[in-house]
Homo-oligomer: A and B are copies of this chain.
Amino acid sequence: MATRRQPVGNKRRIPRQARATETVAAILEAAAQVLEASGLGGFTTNAVAERAGVSVGTLYQYFGDKTAILLTLAQQELELALSDVGRALQAEAHPLVEGRVRAMVRAIVNAFRGRQRARKAVLQAILAQGRGLETMEPLAAFIAHASEQIGRGPKPVLTTLSPEQVFVLSRSMMGTIRAAVLEEQPFFRSRAFEDEIVRLVTAYLDAVTRSAVGREA
């Protein structure tokens, strides 16, 4: 592992021609395939390049770093998952908070369908890189927003959450799901598990609301 690095910044070249766009897509697809087939251990730059049908040099023209590939993969996945969750939340105009929370939880769990090994590997990698922050930020923002959505309804639940509350809400939920994925818990897709996560989130939201209302009165 060479230590030399550019002072700062990703010197990643931005594709301007169709050819380059396809190359980048091929690399990402190859990366996912390699991960699915051999896990993080077999995820070498040479292997990815070979599978993508390009040379290592080309790979490094678009990704300044091996982890940059993982990060990009993670962001892609997250974006997809978030839009799914968003759709689920809008579709599910369940009158009860619990119903909306459940829709959200289910959408997130569903986001881990297919290519499980690759997803697990990506999860591991970004955690190992300590890049959970940047990767999770959109999710945290989303949850902050969603929690307002969730709060509205027949019985309004809450208005705004403190940064700490958003953090606890997003990380506790994602941390639980993440752990279930990484540990390959058999009950991951079970109703019982879903129930408990829903309970966790609703109970917390409830408690926060009660405390806020109590302070107002």
Count of chain copies: 2
For A167, list chain B residues within 8 Å (CB). Answer: 176, 179-180, 185, 187, 193, 196
The smallest C-beta distance from A125 to any residue of chain B, in angstroms, reads: 7
For A178, list chain B residues within 8 Å (CB). Answer: 175
Residue interface mask A14-57, B partner, CB < 8 A = 1: 00000000000000000000000000100000000000000000
Residue interface mask A144-176, B partner, CB < 8 A = 1: 000000000000000000111101100111111
Show 20 A/B contacts (Cβ-Cβ < 8 Å), sorted by A.
A120-B130, A124-B127, A125-B128, A127-B127, A133-B182, A133-B183, A136-B179, A136-B183, A162-B192, A163-B187, A164-B195, A165-B196, A168-B176, A171-B175, A171-B176, A171-B179, A171-B180, A172-B175, A200-B207, A203-B204
The residues of A with any CB-CB pair to B shorter than 8 Å are 40, 120, 124-125, 127-130, 132-133, 136, 162-165, 167-168, 171-176, 178-180, 182-183, 185, 187, 190, 192-193, 195-197, 199-200, 202-204, 206-208, 211
